[in-house]
Structure formats: C-alpha cells, structure tokens
Structure 1
Amino acid sequence: MEFEEVHSSFIEIHTNQRAAERRGRLLRGHNYAEKLFLQNVWWPLFESLEHLHPEYEVFDWNRKSQFLDFAFLPPNGVRFGIECDGYQSHIKDMDRDKFSYALSRDTFLTGMGWKMLHFSFDDIQQRPEVCRMLLQLALAPYLARRAAAPHLLSEEMDILRLAWRIARPLRPKDVTDYLQINFRTARRLLISLSEKGLLKPVKSKERVRYYEVKLMHSDQIW
C-alpha cells in the first residue's frame, strides 16, 4: 500500500477510537508537520505506521493533560514520545514559563519511563535523511533486542551495542579491542551477525573492511 492510503486509514482509525477533547485534539493537532514527519522520516524506514499513536495524551506531575505529537508503543513495553518542533511555535513564541515547563515535562516523562525524541520541522522538511539516521539510532537497540535476542550469542549482542554506540562503520579491530578477543574470533562474530541480517558488510577493493548496522523493517521489529 502507498503512504497516502495508509496514512488516511491511520488517521481514520484513531479518530474513530476517540471522543470529546481527545478526538478534537487529533483533528486539530495532526497537521502538515506531523504528516510530513511520517512521510519523510518514519515511512521510508519502516513502511508501517503500526504501534504509532498520533496526538497521544499524557499527564504531568499535576495530572494536567498534555498531548505528544506521536507515541510509539511497540509490544516489548518500551515507550517513545516523538515531537515535531517548529521554531516559531516551540522557541520564538515561547516565554520563560513555557520554556521551563517544556523542559520539566520532558524530564518528568523520562522519569516515568518515556524516551523522548525531538525533531525540528526544518530538518523533517529539508534534511529528512538526518532525522532517519537519528531515529534509527534511537530505536534500533530496543527493537532489535526483542527480535534478535533469542538467537544471539552474548558476544554478538555486545557487538551490536558497540555498533549502535559508536555510530560509525564497525571494524574488526574495534571488536578485538572492545571484547579483548583475537581477530579471527571477531571476524567470525561479525560474519554471523551479517548472516543474521543485523549487520551489513562494506567492501573496499573487493575485501570486507567494515560492517554497518542494517536498517530494520517492520517485519523484523513488530
């Protein structure tokens, strides 16, 4: 299915599930920037809007209702709040009290177990590849753990954590230094992760020199 068709169905389903202010907030709040985030950033990575909730209601420490642009709630229990921030509405027009509250709200939600992700509208519109890279970096460790953990060795999981942390192509030497193992063992583990579809080998002069974290699609993580 194409994005426009999936998006229309996505909004219709969530609208029909809501009433009163929660329904009104969705109809008022899900606008151009939020749709563009889905189209430019989320959809190219995952080709699915499953487990995403637009204009998701949360409460602050005073039980005051607030709405996140998106909540991503996969079955493994991790909770991501995603905000699409425009300069005009989120910075330029924000007074000191609103600025202080926004920071406190994010800190409160973090304390309550949420993982908050912010993307600027300018990046969503003009540099979506940067947003996709950052989103993948933030989500991959939590989503891959659920999908891959049953058939990964502990050393392989350690290598994946290293690859996500350094955020650059991984060399066998990185693995030998990190795990204090020999080159042959490091290479065997990297090949194993590649065969399991979690790392992608990068060749130079017909030889594999590096390994990159492979982008994950919806059939691997949901």
Structure 2
Amino acid sequence: MDFEKEYQLLIEHHLDARTGERRGRLVRGHQYAEKLLLQNVWWPLFGNLDHLHPEYEVYDWNRKSQFLDFAFLPPYGRFGLECDGFQSHIKDMDRERFSYSLNRETFLAGMGWRIIHFSFEDVQKRPEICRMLLQMVIGPSQIRNIAASPVSPMERELVRLAWNLGKPLRPRDIMNLYQVNFRTARKWLQEMVVKGMLRPLIKNKYTCYYEPVEGLSERLF
C-alpha cells in the first residue's frame, strides 16, 4: 500500500475513534505540515504508519490539555513528534509561553516521553537530515527492543536470506521461497521493521525493498 492510502486510513481510523475536542483538534490541527512530516521523514524511514497517533492529547502538571502533532507509541517507548513553524513557535512566542513550553518539555521527559522537534523548513527542504536525526533518537530503543523480545526462527531465516541474496530483500523473495501471498510476506517484513531489524527502502514513493540494519548480525548470531 502506498503512502496516500495508508495516510487516509490512519486519519479515518482516528476520526472514527474520537469524539468532542479530541476529534475537533484532529480536524482543525492536522494540516499540510503534519502530513509532510510523515511523507518526507517518517515514511521513507519506516515504510508504514504503525503505532502513530495524530494530534495526541497529553497533560501538563496542572492537568492542562495539550496536543502533540504525533505520538509514536510502540511497545518499547513513548515518542512525541513535532513539526514547528518559525512564525507560530518562535517569533510570536512571548516570555510566558516560552517558559511554559520549556517546562512542559521537561515535565513530559519526566513522564517518560521523548519529544522530537523538526522545523517545517527542514521537513520540506532537508528531510534527509530529519530522517538521520529521527533514526538516531528511535534507533537505540529499537535495538533494546530486539534484545528484550524473542526473535523467531522465521525472523532469523529472513535476515539470513537478506544477507545471502547480497541485495535488499523484496516481498517477492519471501513469496517464492515460502509459498506465501504478498500480504503475508509484507506483514512479516513490516513486523521486523517495527522491531528495528530491517530498514525499508523507498523507490518511486513506494516501499519496495528491505535491508538489515547495521550491526544486526552481532546482535542475533
């Protein structure tokens, strides 16, 4: 499935599941910049939108409601993603709002969140920098998740297959070897991406290939 279809399913799912202000915030607050963050930064790195929650509500120490552009809530951590425009987040911010913003970040860090900020200009013009930084923040948690989670014999075999082929792995390679359909092959690969074992490669806006992350052999074998 391509990005546009996955994106529409994500938004529709959360609209259907929400009511009141949480739904209204998603309708009003999720705009071009937030979509571009997923399209230019997230999708090329992960190839799916699993565990993402747009316009996710969090609370400060006074139980004041705030919304993150996205929350990424995999089994191995809590991450907040923000796409910040200069005009709204810096230029128009007074001293009180600036102070509150810093205190909120510290409070969320104390509650176990890792908040990741990108500027809209970088998301739009330099997304490769954003992808590098995002991988640096999330990657160590994915590695710890591999160590903590059992790796199935099938997953080990798929990693070996990728190495033996000497080139990125395709769903078709799995279909031919294990006689499974495309949906099953793609599901296996995406589960390994979520675990941090494989990295998706994008070609012509589609996820076509997957390769083992650097250093995976030392952790598995």
Please give the TM-score of this superposition, normalised by the length of structure 1: 0.69
1:197 is displaced (CA, Å) by: 7.7
1:144 is displaced (CA, Å) by: 2.3
Matched residue type, 1:10: L
Which residue number corresponds to residue 33 of structure 2?
33
Identify if the C-alpha distance between structure 1 residues 150 and 20 changes in structure 2 by more than 3 Å, giving closer, same or farther. Answer: closer
Matched residue type, 1:18: R
User: What RMSD in Å do the two structures reach over aligned CA positions?
Assistant: 2.3
Identify if the C-alpha distance between structure 1 residues 151 and 219 changes in structure 2 by more than 3 Å, giving closer, same or farther. Answer: closer
Residue 191 of structure 2 is aligned to residue 219 of structure 1: yes
Matched residue type, 1:84: C
Which residue number corresponds to residue 97 of structure 1?
96
Residue 74 of structure 2 is aligned to residue 74 of structure 1: yes
1:145 is displaced (CA, Å) by: 1.9
Q: Percent identity?
A: 63
Matched residue type, 1:66: Q
CA distance in 1, matches of 2:147, 2:62: 39
Query: Which structure 2 residues correspond to residues 1-222 of structure 1 after superposition, within 5 A?
Result: 1-76=1-76, 78-149=77-148, 218-220=190-192, 221-222=194-195
Runs of 4+ in 1 over 6 A off after TM superposition: 194-198
Matched residue type, 1:131: C
Classify the secondary structure of the residue corresponding to 1:146. Answer: helix
CA distance in 1, matches of 2:123, 2:24: 25
1:218 is displaced (CA, Å) by: 3.6
Identify if the C-alpha distance between structure 1 residues 98 and 35 changes in structure 2 by more than 3 Å, giving closer, same or farther. Answer: same
Q: Which consecutive residues of structure 1, in runs of 5 or more, have no partner in the other structure? A: 153-193, 199-216
1:219 is displaced (CA, Å) by: 2.8
Q: Aligned residue pairs: how many?
A: 163
RCO (CA 8 Å, sep 6+): is it higher in 1 or 2? Answer: 2
CA distance in 2, matches of 1:150, 1:43: 24
Classify the secondary structure of the residue corresponding to 2:66. Answer: strand
Q: Which consecutive residues of structure 2, in runs of 5 or more, have no partner in the other structure? A: 152-158, 164-188, 196-221
